Amino acid sequence: MRIRDLLSKEAVNLQANPKNKDEAINILVDMLSHTDCICDAERFRRAVFDRERKGSTGLGEGVAIPHAKSAGVLKPGLAAMVVSEGVDFDSLDGKKANLFFLIASPHKASDAHIDVLARLSTLLIDESFRNSLIAAKSVDEFLYLVDKAEGVEIEHQQEALSKEKNKEENHKPVRYDLVAVTACPAGLSHTYMAAEALEHCALEMGVSIKVEADGAAGNRNRLLPEDIANAKAVIVAADRMVDMDRFIGKPLVRTGIISGIRTPDQLIARALDPACQIYKPGSMNESSTFAMRLYRHLMSGLTYIMPLAATAGILSAIARQDLFSATTLGLFLDSIGYSIGTLLFPVLSAFISFSIAGRMALVAGFTGGVMADMADAGVIGAVVNGFVGGGVGYISAAFGQRFLKGHDAMFALLVYPLLGALGTTVIAQFITNLPAEFIDAHLENILLHANKYFLVIIGAILGGMMSADMGGPCNKIAYACGVLLLADCLPESGPGSQIMAAVMAGGMIPPISAGVAAILARKLFTRHEKNIAFATIAKGLFFITEGVLPYLVFSPLRMRSACIISSACAGALSMWYGCGLCAPHGGVFIIPLAEKPFSYVLSLVIASSLGSALFIILRLGQKRFD
Find out whether the peptide bond into 274 is cis, omega within 30 degrees of 0. Answer: no
Q: Which of 202, 155, 154 is nearest to 182 (CA)?
A: 202
**3-class DSSP state of 238:** strand
Alpha-carbon separation of residue 391 from 89, 267, 430, 529 (angstroms): 39, 28, 16, 50
pLDDT in tens, 5-26: 788 888 899 988 898 898 999 9
The greatest distance separating any two alpha carbons of the chain, rounded to the nearest whole angstrom, comes to 82
> Residue type for 268, please?
I
In the predicted structure, residue 404 carries a pLDDT above the cut 70: no
Are 466 and 602 found together in one domain?
Answer: yes
Are 324 and 255 found together in one domain?
Answer: no
Are 470 and 602 found together in one domain?
Answer: yes
> Which residue in the list 37, 67, 563, 579 is annotated as catalytic?
67
**3-class DSSP state of 324:** coil
In the predicted structure, residue 171 carries a pLDDT above the cut 50: no
Are 131 and 197 found together in one domain?
Answer: no
Are 93 and 151 found together in one domain?
Answer: yes
The pLDDT of residue 162:
52
Helices 290-319 and 473-489 cross at an angle (nearest 10°) of 40
Q: Which residue did the predictor score with more confidence, 164 or 383?
A: 383
Are 150 and 251 found together in one domain?
Answer: no
The pLDDT of residue 239:
63
Q: Is residue 73 part of a domain?
A: yes
Q: With a threshold of 0.75, does the pTM exceed it? A: no
- Which of residues 414, 442, 470 is at a domain's end? 442
High-pLDDT (> 90) share of the chain, %: 22
Are 427 and 402 found together in one domain?
Answer: yes
Q: Which residue did the predictor score with more confidence, 156 or 212?
A: 212
Which of 33-42, 90-99, 170-179, 450-459 is predicted most confidently?
450-459
Are 435 and 465 found together in one domain?
Answer: no
In the predicted structure, residue 102 carries a pLDDT above the cut 60: yes
Is 113 annotated in the active site? no
- Alpha helices (runs of H) in 210-254, residue ranges in sequence order: 225-230
- The residue range of the domain holding 436 is 290-442
Are 483 and 607 found together in one domain?
Answer: yes
User: Residue 510 CA to chain centroid, in angstroms?
Assistant: 21
Are 492 and 415 found together in one domain?
Answer: no
In the predicted structure, residue 170 carries a pLDDT above the cut 60: no
The pLDDT of residue 173:
56
Q: Which of 569, 567, 558 is nearest to 620 (CA)?
A: 558
Q: Is residue 165 part of a domain?
A: no
Q: Is residue 283 part of a domain?
A: no
CB 82 within 8 A of CB 133: yes
- Which of residues 423, 442, 461 is at a domain's end? 442
In the predicted structure, residue 66 carries a pLDDT above the cut 50: yes
Is 474 annotated in the active site? no
Q: Is residue 282 part of a domain?
A: no
**In this predicted structure, which of 298-302, 531-535, 588-592 has the lowest mean pLDDT?**
298-302
The pLDDT of residue 70:
82
The pLDDT of residue 197:
83
Give the whole-angstrom CA distance, residue 261 versus residue 258. Answer: 5
Q: Is residue 558 part of a domain?
A: yes
pLDDT in tens, 519-559: 999 888 888 888 889 999 998 998 888 788 888 877 778 88
> Which residue in the list 37, 107, 113, 184 is annotated as catalytic?
184
Alpha-carbon separation of residue 172 from 169, 175, 200, 209, 229 (angstroms): 8, 10, 24, 17, 16
pLDDT band at 612 (very low <50, low <70, confident <90, very high): very high
Count up the domains in the chain and report the number: 4
Are 485 and 599 found together in one domain?
Answer: yes
In the predicted structure, residue 427 carries a pLDDT above the cut 90: yes
Q: Is residue 379 part of a domain?
A: yes
The pLDDT of residue 219:
65
Torsion of CA 306, 560, 473, 29, to 10 degrees: 80
**3-class DSSP state of 69:** strand
Question: What is the DSSP track for 464-508?
Answer: HHHHHSSSSHHHHHHHHHHHHHHHHHTTS--HHHHHHHHHHHHHH
**In this predicted structure, which of 156-165, 235-244, 356-365, 595-604 has the lowest mean pLDDT?**
156-165
In the predicted structure, residue 352 carries a pLDDT above the cut 60: yes
**In this predicted structure, which of 126-140, 174-188, 457-471, 538-552 has the lowest mean pLDDT?**
174-188
Helices 415-427 and 378-403 cross at an angle (nearest 10°) of 140
Q: Which residue did the predictor score with more confidence, 412 or 613?
A: 613
- Number of residues that make up the chain: 626
Give the whole-angstrom CA distance, residue 142 versus residue 219. Answer: 32
pLDDT band at 388 (very low <50, low <70, confident <90, very high): very high
Q: Which of 353, 430, 429, 355 is nearest to 392 (CA)?
A: 353
- Which of residues 205, 237, 272 is at a domain's end? 272
Q: What is the mean pLDDT of the chain?
A: 82
In degrees and rounded to multiples of 5, residue 87 shows phi and psi of -145, 140
CATH value at residue 15: 3.40.930.10
> Residue type for 172, please?
K
Q: Is residue 412 part of a domain?
A: yes
How crowded is residue 547: how many other Cβ atoms within 10 Å of its Cβ?
Answer: 26
Cβ partners under 8 Å of residue 556, min gap 6: 20, 22
Give the whole-angstrom CA distance, residue 94 versus residue 276. Answer: 30
Q: 288 exposed, middle or buried (CB, 10 Å; 0-12, 13-18, 19+)?
A: exposed
In the predicted structure, residue 472 carries a pLDDT above the cut 90: no
How crowded is residue 54: how many other Cβ atoms within 10 Å of its Cβ?
Answer: 12
How crowded is residue 70: how many other Cβ atoms within 10 Å of its Cβ?
Answer: 21
Give the whole-angstrom CA distance, residue 215 versus residue 574. Answer: 45
User: Residue 578 CA to chain centroid, in angstroms?
Assistant: 32
Question: What is the DSSP track for 4-44?
Answer: HHH--GGGEESS---SSHHHHHHHHHHHHHTSTTBS-HHHH
High-pLDDT (> 70) share of the chain, %: 84
The pLDDT of residue 174:
67
Give the whole-angstrom CA distance, residue 124 versus residue 146. Answer: 10
Are 518 and 610 found together in one domain?
Answer: yes
Give the whole-angstrom CA distance, residue 536 versus residue 542. Answer: 10
Q: Is residue 164 part of a domain?
A: no
Give the whole-angstrom CA distance, residue 319 versus residue 468. Answer: 36
Alpha-carbon separation of residue 420 from 266, 393, 399, 407 (angstroms): 38, 6, 12, 19
**In this predicted structure, which of 221-225, 385-389, 503-507 has the lowest mean pLDDT?**
221-225
